[in-house]
Amino acid sequence: MARVLVTEKLAESGLDLMSGAGHEVDVRLGLGPDELLEAVVGASALVIRSATTVTAEVLAAGSDLVVVGRAGIGLDNVDVEEATRRGVMVVNAPQSNILSAAEHAFALMLAQARNVPQSHSALKAGKWERSKWEGVELYGKTLGIVGLGRVGALVAQRALAFGMRLVAYDPYVSAERARQMGVELMGIEELFAEADFVTIHLPKTPETMNIVNRDLLAKAKHGLRIVNTARGGLIDEEALADALRSGQIGGAGLDVFAVEPCTESPLFGIDSVVVTPHLGASTAEAQDKAGVTIAEQVILALKGDFVPFAVNVAATEVSETVRPFMPLAEQLGRCFACLNDGLPDRLEVEYQGGLAGSTTGILTLAVLKGVFAAGTEEPVSYVNAPQLAEERGLEVRETTTATTRDFVNLITLRSPGHALSGTLSGPRSEPRIVMVDDHAVEVPPAAHMLVVRNDDRPGMIGVVGAALGDAGVSISSMAVGPSATGNTALMVLSTDRPVPDDTFASLRSRDGILDIHRIASE
């Protein structure tokens, strides 16, 4: 029997499951930080939701902890890195609310299309206004799905039943996978120009913040209706309010906002807007699933069995040879996804040198974790990364070679269009990117990077440097590598902040620049 400390309200079904497995379930709600440090002593498992913060200090006090379980999706309130270092498993319930979220997206779409809350309020206020609240049908309309992950896929299934044409924007889904779902993939600007309705199902990352901005709304089909049940901050709310007032956008159904709780917004005074206070996961079924799922994961972890929703790998399970390369492998995966502008159809991962004699499966999982990290609406773990690859049509091939010419160890990622290599260098084993698209370079991975392939001629470095300088972007480090033929060269730059969209577009159009990519490696 193990003691399970539960610090937030959990469904009774989950509590009963853990006690039925023979564990002591210790429910202590509303603990302050100091009280948590005392309560966690001697606990084998800690079950939380969003209000409890599991810091390094908490993990140190809970020296007997085997597992920390988050009854929900997000893990911002758990120090996963410290838990991994201490060999504490972290688990969550990533699928507990996806059905509820998909249904809520459809509820908002229907409510917005048929003006349900507006006419409801008017009628209860004594006004019979049939002509004022005329709506539109979903049948025959084009639905644009921005983010075709698990929630987006569930919305797609339901939209087909309504007789809607489906288009989607998701760089992390293969065309074949989309075709199987009855969805046509396209760019986000094309999608906004064609769709009658758009529903958003993206993660919140630096790349997706304000992805629906003033420029995109201006290019949208006149009268487009937008639904967002994913994350606040994906839509520029001021721009959306202006587009709604002008009639460019026909309506919106919003469950999430840039700042929450949100009780004041320029959107609230617009008749064509339907809003709810972040209710996407607020169903009895979702709460029950979260409680049961996390209880099942905790029970498995305490038994030492395979845990399907573990988000980390205990440090003791990875060899000393491989462990230092795990952060590098994940960084390379992130960089590679950005270099490909999304997901390639095929990914080859090659390990050369001393790594070839080790068990490298965990490194391939780390690569996949990095590849998908910026492109899915759910946390990506070492456990679910292969499932995501299968769901999204990514073919993964792993090879090893015992010899390498220039490095003791080398990890190389290849797709039909791009290649990237990295290693650990120097006495402190610092990560280095040493090859991009078969150009030899040497530069440390950074939060913000720019990869430029250009004609190999004088002045090109100056062109890029001047453009970044004009935009107020500082270059932290830079590497230049010519091609084997000498016709082209490659610049890899680390910058102090992301390159602005207008600067990036200007560079892309400059004579002599053949290809350019922004990379965000964290």
Q: What amino acid positions are annotated as catalytic residues? A: 231, 260, 278
182-185: Cβ within 8 A, 24+ apart: 182/156, 183/145, 183/148, 183/156
* DSSP letter for each residue of 382-425: TTTHHHHHHHTT-EEEEEEES--SS-SEEEEEE-SS-EEEEEEE
The two beta strands, 513-520 and 89-92, are unpaired
User: Which stretch of DSSP H or E encloses residue 231?
Assistant: none
For residues 378 and 101, is the Cβ–Cβ distance under 8 A?
no
392 phi/psi in degrees, rounded to 5: -100, 10
Nearest to 278 by CA among 116, 108, 146, 117: 108
For residues 55 and 79, is the Cβ–Cβ distance under 8 A?
yes
User: In angstroms, rounded to a whole number, what is the distance separating the alpha carbons of residues 112 and 135?
Assistant: 8
For residues 374 and 205, is the Cβ–Cβ distance under 8 A?
yes
309 phi/psi in degrees, rounded to 5: -110, 25
User: In angstroms, rounded to a whole number, what is the distance separating the alpha carbons of residues 323 and 317?
Assistant: 9
User: Using DSSP, how many helices (H) and how many strands (E) does the chain show?
Assistant: 17, 22
Reduced 3-state DSSP string for 318-354: CCCCCHHHHHHHHHHHHHHHHHCCCCCCEEEEEEEEH
User: In angstroms, rounded to a whole number, what is the distance separating the alpha carbons of residues 268 and 272?
Assistant: 9
SS3 content of the chain, % helix, strand, coil (to 5): 35, 25, 40
For residues 328 and 335, is the Cβ–Cβ distance under 8 A?
no
Beta strand spans in 66-170 (E): 67-70, 89-92, 142-146, 165-169
For residues 470 and 504, is the Cβ–Cβ distance under 8 A?
no
